[in-house]
Chains A and B, each alone.
Chain A
Amino acid sequence: NAGVTQTPKFQVLKTGQSMTLQCAQDMNHEYMSWYRQDPGMGLRLIHYSVGAGITDQGEVPNGYNVSRSTTEDFPLRLLSAAPSQTSVYFCASSYSTSGGKGGYTFGSGTRLTVV
Chain B
Amino acid sequence: AQTVTQSQPEMSVQEAETVTLSCTYDTSESNYYLFWYKQPPSRQMILVIRQEAYKQQNATENRFSVNFQKAAKSFSLKISDSQLGDTAMYFCAFMTRPGGGATNKLIFGTGTLLAVQP
Encode contact with B along A83-111: 1 for CB under 8 Å, 0 otherwise.
Answer: 00000101010101111111110101100
Which residues of the partner chain B approach A104 to less than 8 Å between Cβ atoms? 45, 47, 104, 106
B105 touches A48 (CB 8 A): yes
Q: How far is the CA of A43 from the CA of B107 in the complex (A)?
A: 8
Contact A40 to B110, CB < 8 A, known contacts A96-B98, A100-B33, A108-B43: yes
The size of the chain B interface, using a CB distance under 8 A, is 27
Which residues of the partner chain B approach A42 to less than 8 Å between Cβ atoms? 4, 6, 91, 108-111
The size of the chain A interface, using a CB distance under 8 A, is 29
Binding site for B on A (CB under 8 A): 31, 33, 35, 40-45, 48, 50, 56, 58, 88, 90, 92, 94, 96-104, 106, 108-109
Question: Please, could you name 30 A-B residue pairs with CB atoms under 8 Å apart, sorted by A?
Answer: A31-B103, A31-B104, A33-B105, A35-B108, A41-B110, A42-B91, A42-B108, A45-B106, A50-B103, A56-B103, A58-B105, A90-B45, A94-B104, A96-B98, A99-B33, A99-B98, A99-B106, A100-B32, A100-B50, A100-B104, A101-B33, A101-B50, A103-B35, A103-B37, A103-B50, A103-B106, A104-B45, A106-B45, A108-B43, A109-B43
